[in-house]
Structure 1
Amino acid sequence: METFYLFIVIFLFILAIFDLVVGVSNDAVNFLNSALGAKAAPTRLILGIAALGIFVGAALSNGMMDIARHGIYQPEHFYFSEIMCILLAVMLTDVVLLDVFNSLGMPTSTTVSMVFELLGGTFALSIIKIIGDHTLNFGDLLNTDKALSVILAIFVSVAIAFFFGTIVQYISRIIFSFNYKKTSKYFAGIFGGLATTAIIYFILIKGIKDTPFLPDNYKNWINENTSFLVSCCIIGFTILMQFFYWLRINVFKIVVLLGTFALALAFAGNDLVNFIGVPLAGFSSYMDITSQPGTVNPDTYLMTSLMGSAKTPWYFLIASGTIMVIALFTSRKAQNVVKTSLDLSRQEEGEEAFGTSPVARVIVRVSSNMASSIQNVIPTKAKQWIDSRFNQDEVILKEGAAFDLIRASVNLVLGSLLIALGTSLKLPLSTTYVAFMVAMGTSLADRAWGRESAVYRITGVLSVIGGWFITAGAAFFICFFVTLIIHYGGFVAIIILIALAIFLLIRSQFAFNKKLAQQKGNPTVTKLMSTHDTDEALTLLRKHTREELSGILDTAANTFDHTVTAFMSESYRGLRKTMNRIDDEKIHLKQVKRIGTLGVAHLDNNTAIEKGLYYYQGNDFISEIIYSIGRICEPCLEHTDNNFNPLHSDQKEEFTHIASGITALLQDCKKIIEENDYSRFDDFIKTANSLINSLSQLKRSELRRIQGQKGSLKVSMVYLTMIQEAQNVVAYTINLIKVSRKFQDITNPVE
C-alpha cells in the first residue's frame, strides 16, 4: 500500500511539471502582454527580464502554499486516502482543463481552476462522508469562510482591476497626452519615481517576509522601517529617473521593463501554488504518514498535520522556477494567448478576432447614449481641451506596436500592485483576471474602443469572461466526478484516468498544431494596418485581395460541388454540413470586407477613389457567389429533409454535366486571381458565357416539362431554383474577374 501511494505522489509531481508548462502558457499573457504590445525592447530581453522575475517570485511564494493544504478543505476531518484522492483528481482535471483553454487561445485563470477543483473534489467526498456519518456537516469538512473569501476576492478583483485601470489610465493620458514626449520633461521623473517605489514596496517589502532565504532580523528591520524606506525610494528613484531623462534615456521603457519583472514576480509568487501546491500537499501528507511508528492504515489516519503552515524546501521552488522559464521561452501556446489579449487592447483598428453579439451591441448603444448625455453637460472649452489630450493622430507608436509606452506602464504597475496586495493578504487573486481587466480598462480609457471596433472588442471581452465562468463550472463538476470515480474505482480507475489525460493532452497538441498551421499568420494584413506609405498600402491591399478571393473561390467551388453531389444522392447530412460551411463563409466575408475597408483608408484620396470602387465591387460579387450557392443549398436541404421525390434521372444527368463545368470555372477563376495572370481572360469569358447559355436551355426545357405536366411540381420548383442560382454564380464570377483585373491594374485589352 505504501508503494501505491508513493506512485501517486510521484505522479502528482509529474503532473505538476505539465501543469507548470501549461500554466505558464496561459499566464504568460499577464506579464508579457504590455512589454510586447508596446515593443518596449527586443523580445529576448523582455523574456529574460520576465524569467528573472519568475525566479525571484518563486522564492517568495512559500506563504501561498497554505491554500492547497487547508485553504479549502478541513484536513483534520479527512483521512490520508481521501486527501490523496482529492489531490490526484485536482491535478488530473487541472492539467487537461488549462491545456484546452491554451489551445483555444483564451486566457483563463489557474487560480480559479485550482480553487474550484479543490471545491469540487472536497464536495464529492464530503457528501460521501456525511452520508456515512450523520454527525458531520459541510461546515466541518469545507473551509467555507476561507473558500468564500477566496472566491469573492477573485471575482471582485475583476471589477476593481477594470475600474482602476480605466481611471488611472485616463488620468495618465490627461497628464501626458498621446504625444508624451512634450510633457515628459515635467512629469517623467515623478512618474518613474512613483511607479518604481510602488513596485519596490508591494513586491519586495510586502512579499519579502515570507521568503525562506532572508534572516528574521532583516525581515523585522524592514517591517519596522517601512515608512522610512518608502520615503527614501520616492526621493531616490524620482531623482534617478529625472537624471535618466536628462541623459535621453526613455524613462517609460525602464518602467515597462521593471513592471514586466514585477508582474512576472507577482505571478510566480501568487500562482506557483496553483501548479505545485497540490503535489506538495500530497508529498507532505505522504511524509507524515510514513514517519509514523508502525503500520498506519491510510483509511483511518486523519491528516491533522496539514493544518500547519507550509515549509516548502527551496529546491522545489527553484526547480519550479526553472521549468516555468523553459516553458516561457519555448511555448507556442503562450504566444497564442498573448495574441488574443493584444487584439482586444490595441490602439489602432485592424483585423478583429471576435465577431459581434447582441449583448455587446446593447452595451455599446447604452454607453454611447450615456457618453452623449455627459458630453452635453461638459463646457465646450473643457471638452476641446480633453479631446486635445486624446488626439490619436499624435500617438507615438513603434512599428508594429499595439499601444504606446504610457499605457504599457500603467498596465504593468497597476496590475502588479493589485496582485501583490492580494498576495500579501494571502488571497490568491487571479493574475489573469487582474492583468487582463486592467488592460481592458486602460484600452477603454485610451479610446481604443471606437465606434467602429467597440462592439467587436466588447464581444471579445465578454467571450473571455464567459470562459472564466466556464472554467469555474467545468473545474468544479469535472473534479467532482473524477474524485468519485477514483474513490470508488481505486487503482483501475486511476490507471484509466491517467491514460485518458495523456490521450487528451496529445490530441489537444495535434489539434493545436493543425489550427496553428491553418492560421499561420497573415503578415499581409499586419503590414497593411501599420503602414503609412500609400504605395505600399496599395500593393499590400492587392496582395491581400488576391489571397482572400482565391481562398473564398476555392470554398465556393467545393461547396457548390458538395451541394449538387449531396442533393443528387439525397444526403441530408452532406447538405447540412455544406450549409453550415456556407454560413461560416458568410461571417468570414463580413470580416474580409471590414479589413478591406480599413485597408482602403490607408490609401491616398485619388487612389482610394480610383481603385476603391473596383475593390468594393469585387467584394460584392464574391459575396453574391457565396449567397447564390447558399440559395441553391437551402431549398435542396429543405426538399431532402421533407423526403420529397428526388430529381428525375434526366434532370440529374443534364445538370450534373453543367455543374462540373461551373465547379471547374470557379477553380479556374481562383487560379487566375491567385497567380495574377489574366492572359487566359478571353477564353475564360467564352467558357462562362457558354455555361450561361446551357443553363438557359435547361430552364426552357424544364418549363416545357411543367407545361406538359410531366414530373413533380415540387421537384421542378427546386430544379428551376438550382438553374437560376447557378446562372447567377457564373454571371457574378464573370463580373468578379473583370473588376479584379482592373483592381490589380493588369493592362490587358478591355473586353
Structure 2
Amino acid sequence: METLYIFLIVILFLLAIADLVVGVSNDAVNFLNSAIGSKAVPMRTILVVAGLGILAGAVFSSGLMEVARKGIFNPGLFFFDEIIIIFLAVLITDILLLDFFNSLGIPTSTTVSVVFELLGAAVVISLLKLNETGAGFANLEQYINVQKASEISLGILVSVFIAFAVGAIVQFISRLIFSFDYKKKLNYIGSLYGGVSLTAITYFILLKGTNSITFLNENFIEQVLENKLWIIGLSFLFWTLISQLLIQVFRCHILKVIVVIGTFALALAFAGNDLVNFIGVSIAAWQSFLLWQEAFLASGVLPNDFLMDGLSGEVKTPVYLLVTAGAIMVITLWFSSKARYVVQTGVNLGRQGEGQERFKPNALSRTVVRYSVFVGQTFSQVLSEPIQNKINSRFSSPEKAFEYKKGVAKPAFDLLRASVNLVLASILISLATSYTLPLSTTYVTFMVAMGTSFGDRAWGRESAVYRVSGVFNVLGSWIATAAIAFTAAGLLSLIIWFGSFYAIGGLLILTLFSIIRSGFRHSKRVKLERQHKKFNKTDIITINEITKESSDNIVKIISGVNHLFLDVINNLGYHDLSRLKRSLKSQEELETTINELKDNIFYYIKSLEDTNVEASKFYVLTLDYLQDMVQSLAYITRSSHTHVSNNHKNLKFNQIRDLKSVQQDLDEVYSELVKAFQSSEFDSIETLIKNERKVLSKISELLQKQIERIRETENSPKNSKLYFGILLETKTLTKTSISLLELFKAYYEEARQEF
C-alpha cells in the first residue's frame, strides 16, 4: 500500500512539472507584456532579466503553501486517501485548463484556476462524505472555507475595474505632461519621473517580492509597513539622484531602465507568489504522505482512517524544490512558443495604431463603442476649442516616440506607456498586499495595460470595436475559468472516487494525449501564421517586389482554388457530407487569406516607392480578381454542402462526369498557371488565356445539354438548381481568372518595356 501511494506522489510531481510549463506559458504575460511591446531592449535581454527575476522569486517563495493546504477547505476533516483524490483532480484539471487557454492565446489567472479547482474538488468529496455518513448537506460549510473563497472572488472582481480605470487616468495625465515627443522633457524632468517610478518598484519588491522570505526576521514586513513613509522618502531621493546621474552622465534612456527593472520586479513577484499555484498542490500531497507514512509506521493506520490534521500546521518547503521549480519556469520562458503567443494577445490589444485585428466585433463591443463615442462627443462640447486643441496636440504624432530601423517591426507602444504599465501594476499590487486584499496579478497587469492603451487613445475609431471585443473575450474567459475549474475538478474527483486507480490511469492517458494534440495544433498554427506574414510595414516596396508579391498571391490563391474545386466535385460525386464539411473549412481558410491580404492594402500602398505609386492600382485589381474567384468557389462549396446536408438526390452520373471533365480542364490550366508564376516566366500567359476560353465554351455546351435534359428526362428541380449553379459559378470563376491573366500580361509587358 505504501508503494502504491509513493507511485501516486511521483505522478503528482510529474503533473506539477507539466503544470509549471503550462502555468508559466500563461502567466508570462504578467511581466513580459510591457518590455516586449515597447521593444525596450533586445528579446534575449528581456528573457535574461525575467529569468533572473523568476529564479529570485522562486527561492523567496512561500514555504507554507497555505492556499493549497488549508486556504480553501478544512484538511482536518478529510482522510489521507480523500486528500490525494482532491489533489489529483486539481492538478489534472489545471493542466488541461491552462493548456486550453494557452492554445487560444488568452491570459487567465492561475490563482483563480487553482482556487476554484480546490473548491470544486473539495465540495464534491465533502458531499460524498456527507452522503455516506447520512449527515445533512447543510454541514458542508464545516468542510469548506466559503468566506475565504468569497473574499478572493470579490477582491479579484473589484481589482479588474480599479486597474482599468486607474490605468486610463494615469496614462492620460502622463501623456498630457510628456506627449509623444518626450525626449527633450526627459532631460529636465526625467529624473523626477525615474525617482517616482523606481521608488514604486522598490517598495513593490520589498513588500510583495520578499513577503515570504523565510530566512529574514519574522517582523520584516511589519517593519516595512511601519516605516513605509521613510522607506518611500529615502528611496525617492536615492533614485532621483541615480536617475539624474544616468541621464546626464551616462546618457541612459531612463524609461528603458524603468522597464527593465520593472520587468525584473514583476517576474520576481510572479514566481514568489504564484509558484504555489503550480507546485503547491504536489507539495501538499507530499507533506500529506509524510504525515500518513509516519503514522502508518507507528500504528499501522490505513489511508482511509487517517485524518489530515497535520496539514493545518506550518510545514516548510525545502529550498531545493523551489530552486528546481524556478529552473523549470525559466526554461519554459525561454523555449515556450505558447508563452509568446499569450503575450502577443495583450500586446496586440494595446498596440498604438492600426493593423490586423485578431478578435471579431460583437454586439456588446459595438454598443459600448457607440455609446463611448457619444459620451466623448458630449464631453468635448463642454470644453472650449482652445483646450481641446491643446489636449489633441499632446496625442498627435505617436510615431515620434518610436525608434526603429528599416526591416524591423516597430514597437506596439512607446516606452512611456510601458513604464506606466509596470509602475502602476507594482503600485496596485503593493497596495493590495499591504491591506491584505486578494487579487490576481494576471488580471491587474492585463487590465492596467488595457486601461493605459485606452487612455493613450490607442483605441481609435478604426480599431476600438475590435479591441473592446478582445477585452470582453478575455474577461469572459476569466469568468469561464472559475466555472470550468470548479465543475471539471469536481467531476474528475467524482470519477476518481468511483473509478479508483483505473480512473486515474485513464485520466493520465487523456491528459497526455490532450497536451500532445494541443502541441501539434499549436505548431501547425504557428507555421501557418509564418506563411501568412507579408511585407514589413516599415519597408519600402520596389517594383520587383510588387511583381513577386502579386505572383506569390496568385500562386497561393489559385492553388487553393484548384485543390478545393477538385475536392468539392469528388465529394459531391460520393455524396460524402463529412468530407464536404472539411471542404467548407478549407473554403473559410481561403477567405481568411484573401481578407488578410485586402486588410493590408492600405499599408502596402503607403510603403510603395514614390515612383511606383501607379502600380498600386495593379495590386488592388489583382487582389480583387482573386477575391472574386474565392467567392465563386464559396458558392459552389456551400451549395454542394447544403444539397448533401439536406439529403437531396445525388447528381446523376452524367452530371458528375461533366463537372469532372470541366474540373480536369481547369486543373490543367491552373497547374500550368502556377508553374509560370512560380518560375516568373510569363510568356505562356497568352496560351493559358486561350485554354481557359476553351473551358468557357465547354461550360456553355454543358448548360445547353442540361436544358435539353430538363425538357426530356430530368425530374429533380434540386439537382438542376445545384448543377446550373455550379456550372454558372465555374463560368464566372473562369472568366475572372482570364481577366486576371490579361491584367498581369498587360502589366508585365509594360514593366518589361521600362527596363
TM over 0.5: yes
Residue 88 (structure 1) shift: 1.3
In structure 1, C-alpha distance between the alignment counterparts of 2:555 and 2:621, rounded to whole Å: 16
Moved more, 538-547 or 234-243: 538-547
Residue 478 (structure 1) shift: 1.4
1:426-575 equivalences under 5 Å are 429-520=439-530, 522-525=532-535, 527=536, 529-531=537-539, 533=540, 535=541, 543-575=548-580
Give secondary structure in 1 for the equivalent of 2:299. coil
Give secondary structure in 1 for the equivalent of 2:316. coil
Unpaired stretches in structure 1, ≥5 consecutive residues: none
Give secondary structure in 2 for the equivalent of 1:395. helix
Correspondence for 2:724: 720
Correspondence for 1:361: 366
Is the contact between residue 32 and residue 50 of structure 1 (CA under 8 Å) also seen in structure 2?
yes
Residue 480 (structure 1) shift: 0.8
Moved more, 541-550 or 86-95: 541-550
Correspondence for 1:52: 52
Correspondence for 2:140: 138
- Cα deviation 1:57-76 (Å, max 9, x = unaligned): 22333177211111111112
Residue 148 (structure 1) shift: 0.6
Give secondary structure in 1 for the equivalent of 2:184. coil
Is the contact between residue 594 and residue 627 of structure 2 (CA under 8 Å) also seen in structure 1?
yes
Moved more, 611-620 or 543-552: 543-552
Is the contact between residue 270 and residue 423 of structure 1 (CA under 8 Å) also seen in structure 2?
no
Residue 710 (structure 1) shift: 5.2
Residue 687 (structure 1) shift: 0.8
Residue 307 (structure 1) shift: 2.1
Aligned pair count?
744
Is the contact between residue 49 and residue 260 of structure 2 (CA under 8 Å) also seen in structure 1?
yes
- TM (norm. structure 2) is 0.93
Is the contact between residue 532 and residue 593 of structure 2 (CA under 8 Å) also seen in structure 1?
no
Is the contact between residue 678 and residue 748 of structure 1 (CA under 8 Å) also seen in structure 2?
no
Residue 652 (structure 1) shift: 3.0
* Aligned-partner residue type, residue 619 of structure 2: Y
Is the contact between residue 204 and residue 429 of structure 2 (CA under 8 Å) also seen in structure 1?
no
Distance of aligned partners of 1:660 and 1:420 in 2 relative to their CA distance in 1, 3 Å threshold: farther
In structure 2, C-alpha distance between the alignment counterparts of 1:295 and 1:120, rounded to whole Å: 31
2:681 to 677, 680, 693: 677
In structure 2, C-alpha distance between the alignment counterparts of 1:491 and 1:715, rounded to whole Å: 56
1:656 to 644, 657, 660: 660
Moved more, 663-672 or 326-335: 663-672
Is the contact between residue 347 and residue 403 of structure 1 (CA under 8 Å) also seen in structure 2?
yes
2:354 aligned with 1:349: yes
Distance of aligned partners of 1:299 and 1:541 in 2 relative to their CA distance in 1, 3 Å threshold: farther
In structure 2, C-alpha distance between the alignment counterparts of 1:543 and 1:413, rounded to whole Å: 46
In structure 1, C-alpha distance between the alignment counterparts of 2:14 and 2:567, rounded to whole Å: 47
Is the contact between residue 554 and residue 670 of structure 1 (CA under 8 Å) also seen in structure 2?
yes
In structure 2, C-alpha distance between the alignment counterparts of 1:477 and 1:496, rounded to whole Å: 19
In structure 2, C-alpha distance between the alignment counterparts of 1:57 and 1:402, rounded to whole Å: 28
Residue 311 (structure 1) shift: 2.6
Is the contact between residue 63 and residue 318 of structure 2 (CA under 8 Å) also seen in structure 1?
no
Distance of aligned partners of 1:630 and 1:220 in 2 relative to their CA distance in 1, 3 Å threshold: closer
- Cα deviation 1:541-589 (Å, max 9, x = unaligned): 6554444432222221122222222222323333343234324433443
- Cα deviation 1:363-418 (Å, max 9, x = unaligned): 22222222222222221111111111101354321322211100111111212333
Unpaired stretches in structure 2, ≥5 consecutive residues: none
Is the contact between residue 64 and residue 423 of structure 1 (CA under 8 Å) also seen in structure 2?
no
1:333-412 equivalences under 5 Å are 333-399=338-404, 400=409, 401-412=411-422
Correspondence for 1:75: 75
- Cα deviation 1:464-517 (Å, max 9, x = unaligned): 222223322222111111111112222222222222222222222222223322
In structure 2, C-alpha distance between the alignment counterparts of 1:75 and 1:362, rounded to whole Å: 48
- TM (norm. structure 1) is 0.93
1:559-638 equivalences under 5 Å are 559-603=564-608, 607-608=612-613, 610-638=614-642
In structure 1, C-alpha distance between the alignment counterparts of 2:307 and 2:320, rounded to whole Å: 28
In structure 2, C-alpha distance between the alignment counterparts of 1:291 and 1:471, rounded to whole Å: 38
| Aligned-residue CA RMSD (Å) | 2.5
In structure 2, C-alpha distance between the alignment counterparts of 1:24 and 1:101, rounded to whole Å: 12
2:203 to 181, 192, 201: 201
Residue 154 (structure 1) shift: 2.2
In structure 1, C-alpha distance between the alignment counterparts of 2:162 and 2:544, rounded to whole Å: 46
Correspondence for 1:178: 180
Moved more, 731-740 or 583-592: 583-592
Residue 310 (structure 1) shift: 4.6
Distance of aligned partners of 1:743 and 1:102 in 2 relative to their CA distance in 1, 3 Å threshold: farther
In structure 2, C-alpha distance between the alignment counterparts of 1:55 and 1:653, rounded to whole Å: 68
In structure 1, C-alpha distance between the alignment counterparts of 2:224 and 2:725, rounded to whole Å: 82
Distance of aligned partners of 1:382 and 1:490 in 2 relative to their CA distance in 1, 3 Å threshold: same
* Aligned-partner residue type, residue 521 of structure 2: A
Correspondence for 1:272: 275
Distance of aligned partners of 1:427 and 1:542 in 2 relative to their CA distance in 1, 3 Å threshold: farther
In structure 2, C-alpha distance between the alignment counterparts of 1:47 and 1:744, rounded to whole Å: 48
* Aligned-partner residue type, residue 16 of structure 1: A
Identity level (%)? 39
Is the contact between residue 567 and residue 583 of structure 2 (CA under 8 Å) also seen in structure 1?
yes
2:255 aligned with 1:252: yes
* Aligned-partner residue type, residue 56 of structure 1: A
